[in-house]
A and B are shown apart, each in its own frame.
Chain A
């Protein structure tokens, strides 16, 4: 049930225990127990909301930054990753295989703030060798959800 439960929650974290129990064919108590176990084990890390900020009047600029770093003795990439992810404006940090090391996603109100973050904070870190900043122009799909998708039922009447 664990995998199926996670698959449902990943799509809809607001679903209630009763409905989950019905969909999974188990009792509400079992659902409750499983979810608290998943939370305790750190498998469920949070319940977020996917927001299409573009539709609001609030300005947000998102950037992806490729970062090349020198790994530190004994700590590999973890130490430098921590120094980066502690900035609240940093939304995500991934260790990446390939031509650079860390992928950092950043959310700010203006382009200038992002520029400042990169030039003042990120590139001045001792182990950072180089950065390449890409601005996100438009989000088509995020977290498995297609933005601005209007699904219609196009199935036609057919006999039999």
Chain B
């Protein structure tokens, strides 16, 4: 073939993390702290429900929007955790992971040339999804001194006539930052005044270690302009089940559903049956996992303190984001040398945006025993550098 492929797709940057982890998988005795998914197995009762669905022959498509019963349980869940009421008939769409919801949500909102504001460091999919939806991504470089929270002046600085959507990625991957009610209020005020949409990616909402997570959609006048995205991967350790959802006003959900039905049809049926059980009977499991993550988070923060590695205290997700600026190396150099010399893989902060320079993402979706070995090696490494 000589005809060129899509310019837009060719123009997308390949992921910076990939080559790194290809080395790790080849390396003997290497420890990875790079993975962004829970180390826990899906709780047995949820898996059992999936097996049962298969046994009963529930192997057909579900409705495009997802099992009615699952949408009802999602509605109940958001109502009991956030106090927001979404109609299970018209305001909830079950998707293939939160990532599908990001993609089709942006596609449903964007006209060519619209601007999408993306605070970084953040999950790597927002920017390519915005570009594929013909939007112009506008980046906000979040600051460590603000604990990587989005500040109103930072938002105001980048809003133009073309601004359409703000992506709000909290609790945040890779920084572990959260937004508290007072932070959200200041942002919501601007969103209402400037008449913008918000895409609130709350996939880590169950994993916070200070106060309970608050959705921006719960604030006055915000439900009508917010796409709330969540899913089962992080809270219930269900990454491989590929199941997420979007909650939004019915005008938006109905357009998202069109894309979903033509591109995907429906989310996996087995996963949907299992997810019903997760929402009905999974609170205890989530709390147990949250407690374990919190212990590991404290363990890492203490280890950093002892080796005098600077790190703001993160209160969400399962990542810490220490600063390595003092060592006079780029994040990538640091991560590469650390991998080669101590056989521990961490992700350079730059994988999540240019402003991640000078930071590392360390995941604590690993057992304490693993983290202990890794911290011994990190201590040895930074001592050598000093």
Contact = CB atoms under 8 A, between A and B. Distances in A.
Q: A and B: real partners?
A: yes
Interface of A: 4, 7-8, 19, 22-25, 153, 155, 157-160
B15 A22 contact: no
Interface residues of B, number: 21
17 contacts: A19-B299, A22-B299, A23-B295, A23-B299, A23-B368, A24-B298, A25-B294, A25-B298, A155-B35, A155-B37, A155-B39, A157-B25, A159-B15, A159-B124, A160-B36, A160-B124, A160-B125
Contact of A160 (B25, B123, B298, B299): B123
Interface stretch (B16-24, B47-55, B161-169): B16-24
Contacts of B37: 155, 158
B298 A157 contact: no
B287 to A, nearest CB: 10
B299 A157 contact: no
B63 interface: no
B295 A157 contact: no
Contacts, number: 35
Interface string B29-46: 000000111010000000
Given A157-B22, A159-B15, A160-B36, 11 more contacts: A4-B291, A8-B295, A22-B299, A24-B298, A25-B294, A25-B298, A155-B35, A157-B25, A160-B123, A160-B124, A160-B125
Nearest to B372: A19
A22 B302 contact: yes
A153 B39 contact: yes
Interface of B: 15, 17-18, 21-22, 24-25, 35-37, 39, 123-125, 291, 294-295, 298-299, 302, 368
Which 9 A-B pairs rank lowest in CB-CB distance, beginning with the nearest?
Answer: A23-B295, A160-B124, A159-B15, A157-B21, A22-B302, A159-B18, A25-B298, A155-B35, A22-B299
B312 to A, nearest CB: 16
A144 B37 CA distance: 24
Contacts of A25: 294, 298
Nearest to B38: A155
Contacts of B25: 157
B5 to A, nearest CB: 19
Contact of B291 (A7, A153, A158, A159): A7
Contacts of A159: 15, 17-18, 124
B362 to A, nearest CB: 16
A159 B295 CA distance: 27
Contacts of B302: 22
A8 B291 CA distance: 10
A125 to B, nearest CB: 40
A23 B25 CA distance: 30
With a 10 A CB-CB cut-off, give which of A8, A19, A23 has the most chain B CB atoms: A23
A24 B125 CA distance: 35
With a 10 A CB-CB cut-off, give which of A7, A158, A160 has the most chain B CB atoms: A160
A126 to B, nearest CB: 45
A155 B237 CA distance: 12
A159 B13 CA distance: 12
Given A4-B291, A22-B302, A24-B298, A160 B21 contact: no
Contacts of B299: 19, 22-23
A159 B22 CA distance: 11
Nearest to A4: B291
Contacts of A23: 295, 298-299, 368
Nearest to B37: A155
Contacts of B21: 157
B295 to A, nearest CB: 4
A75 B28 CA distance: 64
A159 B36 CA distance: 10
A111 B331 CA distance: 64
A159 B21 CA distance: 10
A19 B100 CA distance: 41
Contacts of B125: 160
A160 B39 contact: no
B17 A160 contact: yes
A104 B193 CA distance: 72
